[in-house]
Structure 1
Amino acid sequence: MTPTAGRLPDNIVYFVRALRRAGVSVGTAQILEALRAVQTVGFTNRRDFHTTLRAMIVTRAEHLLIFDQVFAMFWRDPEFLENMITNLLPVITAPPIDRPLKPAQNRAAEAMAAGGGNPRQAPPKEQLEVDAQFSHSNMEKLTQKDFDAMTVAEIRAAKIAIRSMGLDLPKVLGRRYAQAANMVQIDRRKALQSARRSGGEMMQLPKQRAKPRRLNLVVLCDISGSMTRYSRMMMHFVHSMAQAQGQSWAEVHSFTFGTRLHNISPLLTIKDPDAALTSIGNHVRDWEGGTRIATSLGEFNRHWARRVLSTPSVVLLITDGLEREGITQLEAEISRLALQTRELIWLNPLLRWDQFSPQAAGIRAMLPHVSSFVACHNLDSLQELSDGLRNGLHADHKTRVMGLLK
């Protein structure tokens, strides 16, 4: 073991902590494998070191950009490689940002600025701080910003905003009736009972009306790798809906699906949203994995639909629809699901693009069977969903997108 090897684990652990803060999931086993690989390949050449670490640490294509940005900031100091070889801990000074950063660069810069070792003390500078946390312009920008482009602080603020959101759907007429003197419909049973007591004469005609009732809400949320950032934010949204059970909705049933279907309804009864999502993360094993939409919908139709859709329900299907296999099965399962619901609303984050076109086979198969097709990529889109449900969701994207299919 060379003398420099004693500090090599510290440097790599520091780097991995920065990646984790930037949103890249790295396990302990990956760190150990990276250490073995670096010791074999060596770390005197920057390109070799970069390629080795990326091969051992990055497992998702969407994390490549974040890795590259954190690595670039990690090696920004030209003396860092020499210091590393001479057994010094890394010294990181995040450079000033002179140009607008991409979403991954924002999170990378925040991760490096958060610290994780002994950062170099930069000379003090005079700064003018303006507290605009609650300003209208900042809040307006936040509501319009894509979840995937948000910084860590903005995500935290968005989660707080989501807690105050609700989906208020007008009540529907149920099968039960109540007496109402000013209605037109006659309560025949009450009229006949009254006639029996008066020797067959109907002295009055009692009236009735159907009692309004709340609908059930059923949520099916895609947690595959392509939906990572959006599914986590939507879980906070669904938790908010579950906490409003009995107020806006009769019952709330929630499921996640990636490679398999999971019922997370009991876990959403936990009041604290962070604790609830932690429990969901421990319960669901295929988070950020592959996606099998057709298989998951088929499992829901066979094992859960009769239980949770036996009363009038609205179904929120949260997915990007990027299914590559089983398109025929997918079309059959989505059609079966649509027949069992009062309204099937598809929330798709891909609608964040104005020029969205239904090119994927999965999207083309599912779109004709849903009632509404709406976006779910920022706070404004969720608020529009709430307002649209209240008004009947007349102005969604389905009509426009269906026109592109012809």
Structure 2
Amino acid sequence: MTIPNAARPFIEFPSVLRRHGFSVAPDQTMGFIEAVGLLGPRGMDDIRRAAIAMLAVPRERETEFDALFRAFFLGQTIATPVPSLDEDEVEAHEPDGAVSEVEQGDELSDVGVRATAAERLTSRTLEVGDRSDVLVRFERLAPVRLPRRRSYRYAPTKRSGVLDLRRTLREAARRGGEATTLKTRRRRTRQRRVVLLIDISGSMRERTDASLRFAHALVQSAERVDVFTLGTRLTRITRDLLPRDRERALARVGQLVADFDGGTRIGEALRTFLDVPRYAGFARGALVLVLSDGLERGGPEAMIDSVHRLARVAWRLDWLSPLAGDPGYRPETSALSAVLGSLDALADGSGLDAICDHVLGLGRSR
């Protein structure tokens, strides 16, 4: 049975809840769909009320439910699962009034060289920097140098291609039934979607501003791009990078992202990205770029599993590490070492020039 496209989000959302520990039975899913149909709905509040009522969301978990609801239907911030640690826990108040528990962990040094699991909720003023020649060149070349793929649409061509019988017959009809030339066509190409995942944890604090400036340049020049930040949570910042004015765009990002220079939960953040169907769909057949040093706190299992899953759906998965600027660099963390076979490239991410050159060179890689 073919499922209507309009009903798919209401079928997929209960699956997301089940993956995050909510008990949702199949008949509750059907009741949720029927309730949404009866309500109209007139807005997202109607859908939320139908979900809480029909999916039997426990009152004590409504805050977690709201986070998943906003992430799935609105593309807003979703916190990654917090691992159980023995250290003291403190409460952090979200800007919307919700309260989440965060762990009081290691203090970072001035250079931010240690990976940590502590979640710190704050805003940050990002450095806009000068109008870099590297980024100006990138924005000029990216529209023609970013990887492309063949689309399902065809375009007329005067050179090599397949026979376009429809255009040939139309031309013959205009000439009294005589086909003087055979028209040809070939499939158009379009730019591949680019998914950019930026590690903003404490160990990357020296390069966070430059990474976000690159993200802004990429959003301005690519046809289809989605940008996320990874720390103790997953935040989609694509919409906030849309303003052409870099200062305005980075100011919006600084207010939106709450976990700058905090903990390092790359594996959990990537798993959260893949568990939201809408986000995982962005990566299907896309060029996925991860800007991270790969310093993961805790067990490597979550990161290894998530990278393997991401590599299976992406067209290409490249990991750009600032540590890879050293020609003799070899990953020392067990997680990054274990995923090397799933990566298409572990490349230099130590500066804007290295990142831009790598991305611009991918259009000729396949």
TM-score relative to the length of structure 1: 0.53
- Return 203-212 or 295-304, whichever deviates more: 203-212
Q: Deviations over 1:202-245 (max 9, x none)?
A: 8864321111211222110000000011122110011111122x
Matched, 1:343 2:316: yes
1:221 aligns with one of 187, 192, 198? 198
Alpha carbons of structure 1 residues 205 and 300: separation in structure 2 relative to 1, 3 Å? same
Task: Write the deviation string for residues 281-323 of structure 1: whole angstroms up to 9, x where unpaired.
Answer: 211111100111111111111214344235x421111111112
Query: What SS does the corresponding residue of 1:229 show, helix, strand or coil?
Result: coil
Alpha-carbon distance in 2 for matches of 1:363, 1:214: 29
**Aligned match of 2:279:** 305
Rounded Cα–Cα distance in structure 2 between residues aligned with 1:361 and 1:62: 25
Residue 178 of structure 1 corresponds to 155
Moved over 4 A (4+): 188-198, 200-205
Match of 2:109 in 1: 61
Listed one character per residue, the Cα deviations across residues 19-57 of structure 1 (whole Å, up to 9, x for unaligned) are xxxxxxxxxxxxxxxxxxxxxxxxxxxxxxxxxxxxxxx
- Kept in 1, the 8 Å contact 2:112–2:206? The answer is no
Which whole-Å CA distance do the structure 2 matches of 1:64 and 1:280 have between them? 21
Distance in 2 (CA, whole Å) between partners of 1:294 and 1:379 is 25
CA contact (8 A) 2:220 2:244 kept: yes
Match of 1:292 in 2: 265
- Overall identity of the aligned pairs, in %: 29
C-alpha separation in 1, matches of 2:253 and 2:150: 35
How far apart are residue 164 of structure 1 and its match?
Answer: 1.0
2:133 is aligned, of 133, 158, 161, to: 161
The alignment status of 1:319 with 2:292, answered yes or no, reads: yes
CA contact (8 A) 2:154 2:185 kept: yes
**Residues 318 and 175 from structure 1, CA distance in 2 versus in 1: closer, same or farther, beyond 3 angstroms?**
same
Query: Is contact 1:224–1:257 with CA below 8 Å preserved after alignment?
Result: yes
What pairs with 1:98-137 in structure 2 (closer than 5 Å)? Answer: none
- Name the larger-Rg structure: 1
Alignment of 1:137-148 (within 5 A): none
Q: Select the structure that is richer in helix.
A: 1
- Whole-Å Cα distance in 2 between the matches of residues 374 and 222 of structure 1? 15
On the 8 A contact 1:324/1:361 being kept in 2, the answer is: no
Question: Following superposition of structure 1 onto structure 2, how do residues 393-404 of structure 1 map, counting pairs within 5 Å?
Answer: none
Q: Return 5+ residue gaps in structure 1 as ranges.
A: 1-57, 66-152, 394-406
Task: Compute the displacement of 1:351 (Å).
Answer: 1.0
Higher strand share: 2
Q: Is residue 277 of structure 1 aligned with residue 325 of structure 2?
A: no
Structure possessing the higher relative contact order (Cα contacts under 8 Å, 6 or more residues apart): 2
Q: Identify if the C-alpha distance between structure 1 residues 189 and 326 changes in structure 2 by more than 3 Å, giving closer, same or farther.
A: farther
Query: In the alignment, is the contact (CA less than 8 A) between 2:267 and 2:300 conserved in 1?
Result: yes
CA contact (8 A) 2:233 2:259 kept: yes
Secondary structure at 1:290 match in 2: coil
Q: Distance in 2 between matches of 1:180 and 1:271?
A: 35
The TM-score with structure 2 as length reference comes to 0.58
* Alignment map for 1:362-373 (pairs within 5 Å): 362-373=335-346
Q: Name the Cα RMSD after superposition.
A: 3.2
Question: 2:134, 2:356 within 8 Å by CA — same for their partners in 1?
Answer: no
Call closer, same or farther: CA 1:345–1:185 in 2, change over 3 Å.
same
> Structure 2 counterpart of 1:236, which letter?
R
- Comparing 354-363 and 291-300, the one that deviates more: 354-363
Query: Would the alpha carbon gap of residues 273 and 391 (structure 1) be closer, same or farther in structure 2, given more than 3 Å must change?
Result: same
The one-letter code of the counterpart of 2:136 is S
2:305 to 332, 335, 338: 332
CA distance in 2: counterparts of 1:194 and 1:255, whole angstroms: 50
CA shift, 1:195, in A, is 9.3
Q: How far apart are residue 197 of structure 1 and its match?
A: 11
Q: How far apart are residue 386 of structure 1 and its match?
A: 4.1
Letter in 2 for 1:221: I
3-state SS of the aligned residue for 2:197?
strand
Residues in 1 aligned to 2:308 and 2:173: alpha-carbon distance in whole angstroms = 51
Question: What one-letter code is carried by the residue in structure 1 that aligns with 2:132?
Answer: I
Measured after TM superposition, the shift of residue 192 of structure 1 is: 7.6
1:314/1:342 contact within 8 Å kept = yes
